[in-house]
Amino acid sequence: MDQLPATFVQGFHDESSVRKMKYVSFGNTGLMVSKISLGTGTLSKFYGDLVETEGIKAVHLALKKGINYIDTAPYYGQGRSEEILGKALKDVPRRAYYVATKVGRYEMEYDKMFDFSAKKTRASVENSLALLGVESIDVVQIHDVEFAADLSVIWNGTLPALETLKAEGKLKHIGVSAYPMDVLKRVISGAPGRFDIVLCYCRNTLIDDSLKEYLKFFKSNNLAVVCASGHGMGLLTNAGPQPWHPAHDQTKQVCREAAEYCKQHDVELGKLAMYHFIQLDGPSTFLSGMQSEALVNINLEAFFDGLTPKELDVLDYLSKCIFPKIVEKNWEGIEVKQYWNAMKLMHN
């Protein structure tokens, strides 16, 4: 690119990488965001043990290489992700990045997991500002709205609270996230013009391409689309998913088979997944969790250099011979059902 982005800082960035990175208009926000963005759910115990110093180094490397959009949430490690990210950002010029966090989903215990109330929303944003060490958060998203007992709490509680905080200058743009695509469509349709950003995850992967159907709707609502988790929350990596992963057993089994095939051919399934993930036209940015410098390098390599002929052959084989065996492409409804069953048991 001829022009360096507004987030470029001489002396901080690796200029040649920044020039190679693609920057895309972020809906109607006026921001230009890097095509690859940094997810920090991995800066917590969700994805295994984390060495804090390694996580901080990964953040620094990602930013220096031209990534300028970072996503976190209070739920990731119950504040741990925001805390580690805040430590990393102390050494980064504020204009070098845009930071996004969330409200609505908090604790591991079912009875304290969700709170979409206006009061909790305000307290959460204040806490995120303190942990991240910033005066204003670029994007605050309402997290996993499919768990709300009724979407009216989002429209009448969470969203107005965020709009008030925006008017106070504590945040700049408002977004929404969910796993079920139809819920995202409903929540956006119920508050026309009030959301700037939509985050969809695990919906544009080697096993599920359902985001494609909804892109036109999102675009018609002038939303910036954050396409997250091309690795299917670890499902599409050689290491495999964490024990908590909600996918069906048969889906996990097929993905394990794919990972084994990759290992036999000395290929990383995660790199193939990343490459496939970023080919879709429409999303502004492709968000991927990276908790080590090695993962930052693998993901950026998939973007900057594409795949080797050998990797392309392996990807072709998986796409034709292994992934078509999957019966259930998504795990929609599984977590919501678990949540409401647990809540029912508690209140009986």
- The tokens describing 251, both together, are 């889906």
| CATH architecture, domain defined by 15-238+269-307 | Alpha-Beta Barrel (3.20)
Share of the chain above pLDDT 70, in %: 99
Task: Check pLDDT > 60 for residue 1.
Answer: no
Is residue 57 helix, strand or coil?
Answer: helix
Task: Check pLDDT > 60 for residue 65.
Answer: yes
User: If you average pLDDT over every residue of the chain, what do you get?
Assistant: 96
DSSP letter (8 states) at residue 302: H
User: pLDDT-derived band of residue 44, with 50, 70 and 90 as boundaries?
Assistant: confident
Catalytic site includes residue 76: yes
Cβ within 8 Å of residue 223, ≥6 positions away:
27, 188, 195, 196, 197, 198
Query: Taking Cα atoms as reference points, which of 322, 225, 226, 223 lies closest to residue 272?
Result: 322
Task: Check pLDDT > 80 for residue 46.
Answer: no
**Rg (Cα) of the chain, in Å, rounded?**
19
Give 236's Cβ-side CA count (13 Å radius).
28
What pTM, to 2 d.p., does this model score?
Answer: 0.97
Residue 139, CA distances (Å) to 127, 196, 224 in order: 15, 9, 11
Instruction: Summarize pLDDT for 246-302 with one digit per residue, the tens.
Output: 999 999 999 999 999 999 999 999 999 999 999 999 999 999 999 899 999 999 999
Query: Taking Cα atoms as reference points, which of 1, 68, 62, 59 lies closest to residue 32?
Result: 68
Neighbours of 219 (CB within 10 A): 13
Residue 27, CA distances (Å) to 22, 173, 175, 348 in order: 15, 11, 11, 45
Judging by beta carbons within 10 Å of its beta carbon (0-12, 13-18, 19+), is residue 262 exposed, middle or buried? buried
pLDDT at position 240 is 96
Residue 225, CA distances (Å) to 270, 292, 331 in order: 22, 25, 21
Task: Check pLDDT > 60 for residue 14.
Answer: yes
Domain ranges of the chain: 15-238+269-307
Task: Check pLDDT > 60 for residue 108.
Answer: yes
Give, rounded to a whole angstrom, the gap between the first and last alpha carbons of the chain.
61
Q: What is the mean pLDDT of residues 82-106?
A: 97
Q: What is the mean pLDDT of residues 172-193?
A: 98
Residue with tokens 């080797």: 308
- The tokens describing 169, both together, are 């200058």
pLDDT at position 50 is 79
pLDDT at position 42 is 85
Query: Taking Cα atoms as reference points, which of 76, 81, 72 lies closest to residue 99?
Result: 72
Instruction: Summarize pLDDT for 288-328 with one digit per residue, the tens.
Output: 999 899 999 999 999 999 999 999 999 999 999 999 999 99
Give 277's Cβ-side CA count (13 Å radius).
33
Task: Check pLDDT > 70 for residue 347.
Answer: yes
Task: Check pLDDT > 70 for residue 2.
Answer: no
Task: Check pLDDT > 90 for residue 49.
Answer: no
| CA 29 to centroid of chain Cα atoms | 18
Task: Check pLDDT > 80 for residue 237.
Answer: yes
- State which H helix or E strand residue 99 sits in: strand 98-103
Q: What is the DSSP code string of 143-195?
A: --GGGSSSTHHIIIIIHHHHHHHHHTTSEEEEEEEESSHHHHHHHHHTSTT--
Task: Check pLDDT > 60 for residue 242.
Answer: yes
Tell me how far apart the alpha carbons of residues 187 and 164 are, in angstroms, rounded to a whole number: 19
Give the β-pairing of 98-103 and 69-71.
parallel
Residue in 76, 97, 98, 106 annotated catalytic: 76
- The tokens describing 72, both together, are 């976190």
User: pLDDT-derived band of residue 51, with 50, 70 and 90 as boundaries?
Assistant: confident
